[in-house]
């Protein structure tokens, strides 16, 4: 077997290496952020010592609230960026192939419905500025994905589905 042969059909060896490097980098970054959050901020609470009900996680007394908030906000923005950018490879593939072959329109119908209802829930739940600022990464992720999904919907209309 050729050492430079692509492992996945339709992808070049350099493209696969780049995809692997990006995936590995994202895995390391997210693991590092999560371990920072766990080690400095969150400690499990035994159910026996919890008179107010079940608590899965509790902030330890030694944790810095600003660090906890910063790690949570960074994780939320990374999540929003990854969630939004997850549509870009599909849009590019459709544009490059000039086809929507193999793409399920129902995936995008349900994704749009889910993002619309999530965004509506955020705005209907509470409209105070502090709450909206805390949920801004999630709102941006949902609305950004809706914008990118509109390109996919446009492609379904303009391009043939084989």
What are 102-117's pLDDT values in tens digits?
778 888 889 889 999 9
One domain for residues 59 and 122: no
How long, in residues, is the chain? 162
CA atoms lying within 13 Å on the CB side of residue 87: 22
**Alpha-helical regions (H) of 9-160:** 13-41, 65-85, 88-97, 105-125, 129-134, 136-158
pLDDT at position 20 over 70: no
Q: Which of 4-8, 55-59, 77-81, 152-156 has the lowest mean pLDDT?
A: 4-8
Q: Could you tell me the residue range of the domain that residue 147 belongs to?
A: 64-162
**Does some domain include residue 115?**
yes
**Number of structural domains, the chain?**
2
Q: Which of 33-37, 86-90, 149-153 has the lowest mean pLDDT?
A: 33-37
Stated as kind and residue range, the H or E segment containing 58 is strand 57-59
One domain for residues 82 and 151: yes
One domain for residues 101 and 156: yes
> What is the percent of the chain with per-residue pLDDT over 90, rounded to a whole number?
9
One domain for residues 74 and 150: yes
pLDDT at position 43 over 60: no
Q: What is the pLDDT of residue 149?
A: 87
One domain for residues 124 and 157: yes
Q: What is the pLDDT of residue 25?
A: 73
Q: pLDDT higher for 141 or 49?
A: 141
């Amino acid at each position: 077997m050729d050492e430079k042969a692509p492992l996945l059909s339709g992808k070049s060896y350099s493209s696969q290496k780049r995809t692997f490097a990006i995936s590995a980098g994202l895995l390391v970054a997210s693991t590092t952020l999560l371990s920072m959050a766990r080690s400095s901020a969150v400690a499990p609470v035994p159910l026996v010592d919890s008179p107010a009900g079940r608590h899965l996680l509790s902030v330890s007394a030694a944790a810095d609230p600003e660090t906890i908030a910063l790690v949570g906000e960074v994780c939320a923005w990374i999540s929003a960026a990854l969630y939004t950018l997850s549509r870009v490879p599909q849009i590019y593939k459709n544009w490059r192939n000039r086809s929507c072959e193999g793409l399920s329109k129902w995936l995008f119908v349900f994704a749009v419905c889910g993002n619309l209802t999530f965004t509506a829930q955020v705005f209907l739940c509470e409209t105070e500025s502090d709450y909206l600022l805390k949920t801004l990464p999630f709102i941006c992720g949902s609305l950004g994905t809706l914008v990118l999904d509109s390109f996919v919907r446009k492609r379904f209309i303009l391009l043939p589905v084989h």
